[in-house]
Amino acid sequence: IGMLRNGFVADMATTVPVGEVSDEARRILEVGERSLWEGIKQVRIGHRLSDISHAIGSFVEKEGYHVVREYVGHGVGRALHEDPQIPNYGPPGRGVRLRAGMTLAIEPMVKTDDLPTKLAGDRWTVVTASGGLSVHFEHTVAVTEDEPEVLTAGGE
């Protein structure tokens, strides 16, 4: 969900199970959401952009799943998709250093297969090549002097 308010954009996503779901579906949902928070923990002044990528990707792989490589997180501010791009995989310690005031859309997409995704017939829906399960979670996060500030987490 993208939202514009006072000239600024926020971006978020969540995957919600509908009806009875399998244990495997519950597990990938948990891993997907936890991977988002693993990435958010890296949103600190002085950390590098790829520290976020590495935290997400290594957590997901350790849990036996795979990240979507064709779509990435991104900067967000006056436009929905701004630089920098934030892959959900890669080595730590690379890319720009995070600084106060940056706003980032952290968005892991987790799937059961390690194949490229494909575009469905409607030219909008992205699906796994194998027809396997996938989940998508996203928050807009501000780099602050202290803790990462999750701007799309709700609240008062």
Write the pLDDT tens digit of every residue in 54-84.
Answer: 999 999 999 999 999 999 999 998 888 889 9
* Tally of helices (H runs) and strands (E runs) in the chain: 2, 12
Contact 148, 154 (CB under 8 A): no
Identify the pLDDT of residue 154.
76
CATH code for the domain defined by 2-150: 3.90.230.10
For residue 105, name the pLDDT band (cuts at 50, 70, 90). very high
High-pLDDT (> 90) share of the chain, %: 87
Question: Residue 7: CB partners within 8 Å, gap ≥ 6?
Answer: 78
pLDDT digits (tens, 9 = 90+) for 135-151: 999 999 999 999 999 99
pTM of the full structure: 0.94
C-beta atoms surrounding 112 within 10 Å? 17
